[in-house]
Every structure is written in C-alpha cells, then in structure tokens.
Structure 1
C-alpha cells in the first residue's frame, strides 16, 4: 500500500480508542475545559464531557471504531472520527479508508453534525460522501440550564433502544453510501482522460464565484489554484498509481488534494475542507468527475 508520510486531518487531533472514557479523551486532547467568554478563564468542562460521551455512545451503537478526536477554531468546534471498516482499494494499491465524522459547534452544542467520508492513504486527501442519512442529530446527553432548582436539567447517560436503533440505521446508511461510492470510484479509475479534458475540468472546479463579484484578484487566485491542481494531477502523492494515471479518478484526487491545502493554517485548512468553501469545491469536483462518465 502507498501511504502518505504526512499525518491525516492536517495533523490536528489525537488518536484514541474505545477503551478510554469521555473524560480521558478530553484530557488527552487537552479539551477538559469549557470555552469561556473570558480567555483567561478555563473552568472544568461539563459541556465538552457531554459532547464526547455522546460521540462515544453514538459510535458504539453503530459498531464504528472511534479513532481520532480534536477541536477547531479555538475549541469552538469539537469533533470525533470513527472507522467504518468499509475500506476499499483501487488498482495500483490505491487505498481508501472510510470514516464517520461527528462535530459540534459552541453556538449550539445540542446539534451534532454528521458526515461520512473517505481518506485516501496515498495523500491524505478527504472526500465527503453523501448519504440518505439525516445530516444532524440532537445530543440527548446535553444538559440545559433552568431558572429554578436544580438549575441543570437531568440528562441521559446512555442511549435508549430508540436512539440506539436510530444511530445504527444512520451509520448503516453511511456504510452503504461508501460502498456505492467505491463502485463509482472504480469507474472513474477506468475512465481515461487527456490534457484538454484535464484543463477544462480544473477550470470548472476552481472557477471563481461570479455572483460574489470579487474582481480580478479572485480570478487571478482561481487561475493560480487551477494551475496548482493541474500540477498536482501529474506530481501529487499517489498520482503515479495505476488508478490515477490520466484518469477521471486522478483528476478528482488531484482536485481534492489541492482544495485540502487551501488555507493559511492547518486549523483553517481542515475547517474549510470539512465545513467551508473548500468542502464546496470538492463537492463540485466529485460532481464534475462523475459527469465525465456520461
């Protein structure tokens, strides 16, 4: 197998396993404190514990192996990844690992965002995989403040049967979506392209948003990124594998590799790749790659 020497997830997060408690995961990730409006104050976190306790229970219900936890944007986003074991390999030992991502934002800790994705081992590029599952779930472990005693409401400590079945069903839909994507990825690897197709493809993937009317600077940046992506198509890690050589799959992986590296810091790169404009670029890249199969 070809594996990147770089750490995945932009080098952010720490590896964990299901034997750790939610408190131990928080401690290992240095998140055992509450986000405060006063930067100098970092009291012990109850909210973060509730969030990670929910993550762990959710993964266990779906038989997903918790793998990495971390935070983004000054711990305003707490996230956890678990392995789905729907991995697949394309020609040339091009390995893709499957994951489920749960993420919670400080503004609304009750809402947990759900994403399914694959990670390409050769270059650590990430692709979000759409599924039939709902994109969010309510954190039933979250306690809310009340105006009367006791000021904190009681919260569940474990999933009831209904919640357990919902988590299982959601994660199963994610596994099915990744299995379906594996077949599409094989078709993309079989689809050969030429330099003209490659240039047109990258031009469409990285074209500036004309509706924002950001002027010449945006156009210049788009052209530079397009050129970077074309160079990645030839030279990025993993592009020498059989699956990627002058293929639609190679175009997609080069576009994802380029998009994942847009941003000034590792935090901003990962945040934008999962939730921001770079995620939209990769979604467009996948759609355009699949259009090449028609």
Structure 2
C-alpha cells in the first residue's frame, strides 16, 4: 500500500502525516474502533511446518504460536506460547474511564504495520506556555505490539502546538512511562496507578522547558550542542558538515516552525526543537509509518531523549 499507516482516526486538525478518518468529538469507543481500523481481534493458531521437502510431512511446533487478524486472516507474527496478547479493543478501552470522568479526550488512534503495532493518543487537558504564545499540551500515549518489537507502553508525551513536535515527558525523577513486557498480562488499572507519579511530574517537566526558553545560547554553544547530539565531528576542510547537521542547524537558525518565537530564537529550547522537528518531520524514512514508529518508539525517540538530556545540561 502507498502508506504503511494501515488505518487511523482522529478528531480536530488533520495530523501531520495527513492520513486518517476524521471524527466529530465525544464519539463512543465502538465508533473509534471501527474508524481507526481496530474492530478486529488477534487470534492464535499452532505453528505447522513441512518436515520433508520431498513428501508431505506436516508437523507442529509446540513451543510457538502464530498470531493473525480475525478479519483478514493475515498473519502478524510467530511468538512463544508465553506471549501475552493485548487486543485492539483493550488499547482503546484503556481510556474509557479516563475520558468519561478524568477529563481526557481521545485525539488519534490507529494501526501500524498491518496490525503489528496499535496505539492511541489522548489529550490530558494539561497545557502550559513557554514565554509568550509557545503552547505545550500534555498527552497520554498507549501503544503495544504483537510481534515482540515493543512492550505495551503507556507514556506521557508533550506536543508543541505550533509544529506538532512530540517529546516524551521526562524529568530526572521520572521517565513518564510504564512498560509491560508481553510475558506479563496487561492490567489497565495497575498501569494507571503506576502512571500517577508521572502525571504529577508535569509541572516539573514544564519548569525545565521554561528554563530552556530563558537560556540564551551563543553560536559556539549551539554548534557544540548539535555536534554532541548528532555525533557530528568538528568541521574541517577535509571533513565537511553532514547534510543532517546542516538541516538541523537550519531549523534552529530560522527555518523551523516556531523558530522565530521569543522562547525559541537563540535559546536552548530552540535547539531542542530543531532536533525534535527534524525527527518528527524531516528525518529520512521509507514511509510515514516508519517515521511515526521511529519518532515515538525507535531511534528517533532515542535521539529526542538525548537532545533533551543535553539541553538540560545547559540549565542545570
């Protein structure tokens, strides 16, 4: 298919990747399941193999199972018998009580890689500003996989409104995330209890970001910061700067969305957002599916975390 984001639904503005079915607000979970392409279940079956290429000799592998979609019967993965599946409806129902009594609002949900990964993102209602009109909103992301590539992960994520840059909410005291391995049964209530501490750290997280917006950086500091974060060697005639370094530098120096805001122009906050915008919007990816996967769960997420940690060294 042209886009690997197999299906998704959203409310409000069109997501940055431009895909999905738009919903009106306050839709019930069953509508979300249908429109997000999540109204199916993960089934399992024995692993069978032909033990003799010259003749039909079908045998089973008792220590593994095949996971497949109930609607299309498409195989998803081969996993061990100990693998605990999290169903698509469990991902969305995780938010049900949070939406009804907690002030949360589902904003987007969908299926990645044909159903191998599932996710949903909800606004928490928390919002803050970093010097002027640079608005940051807090979200809760729940994602899981059925191919072993991702623990079931619930994490608080911040979104910068002007550019939709995403950044995992973390402080020195808390990662803002709860991860449940697939060897353990998913218990929504335990996850929500464990997330309570992370949610309480929103104020501390925002204090850090506001400090970044107040920390002016010299051209030399900006150059050193980007070289550390991007593992870029010092410039020389024999060793010109990479295209990635040039791109991120350009985003910082005025090409980036919101780079002209007072909080971002010439500050540590601007440096951090140059990296997050590069990861979320410009980093090379085979398709939007891989870009989203990397930005939230893979190498892109790791690069953004490194950028945050390095930025905080400028203010602490």
Which has the higher mean CA deviation after the structures are superposed, 122-131 or 13-22? 13-22
Structure 2 Cα separation of the partners of residues 266 and 167 of structure 1:
29
Structure 1 Cα separation of the partners of residues 306 and 109 of structure 2:
28
Change (3 A) 1:96 1:15: farther
Structure 2 Cα separation of the partners of residues 51 and 110 of structure 1:
14
TM-score by length of 1: 0.74
The Cα of 1:9 is off from its aligned counterpart by: 5.3
Aligned to 2:111: 71
Contact 1:89 1:95 in 2 (8 A): yes
The Cα of 1:74 is off from its aligned counterpart by: 1.9
Change (3 A) 1:289 1:110: closer
Aligned to 1:191: 215
Structure 1: where are the runs of 5+ without partners?
1-5, 144-155, 209-218
Which of 200, 215, 221 is residue 176 of structure 1 equivalent to? Answer: 200
The Cα of 1:267 is off from its aligned counterpart by: 1.0
- 1:69 aligned counterpart, secondary structure: strand
Structure 2 Cα separation of the partners of residues 281 and 109 of structure 1:
18
Q: Aligned ranges for residues 24-173 of structure 1 at < 5 Å?
A: 24-34=31-41, 42=72, 47-57=87-97, 63-107=103-147, 112-130=152-170, 131=174, 135-137=178-180, 163=189, 166-173=190-197
- The structure with higher relative contact order (CA 8 Å, sep 6+) is 1
Aligned residues: 257
- 1:240 aligned counterpart, secondary structure: coil
Aligned to 2:309: 287
Which of 235, 238, 250 is residue 231 of structure 1 equivalent to? Answer: 250
Q: Which has the larger radius of gyration?
A: 2
Deviations, residues 56-94 of structure 1 (Å, cap 9, x unaligned): 346657542222111222221110111112210111300
Structure 2: where are the runs of 5+ without partners?
1-12, 44-66, 75-85, 233-238
Structure 2 Cα separation of the partners of residues 175 and 247 of structure 1:
27
- Which is richer in helix? 1
Structure 1 Cα separation of the partners of residues 34 and 244 of structure 2:
39
- 2:226 aligned counterpart, secondary structure: helix
Change (3 A) 1:132 1:41: closer
Which has the higher mean CA deviation after the structures are superposed, 15-24 or 191-200? 15-24
Aligned to 1:277: 299
- Which is richer in strand? 2
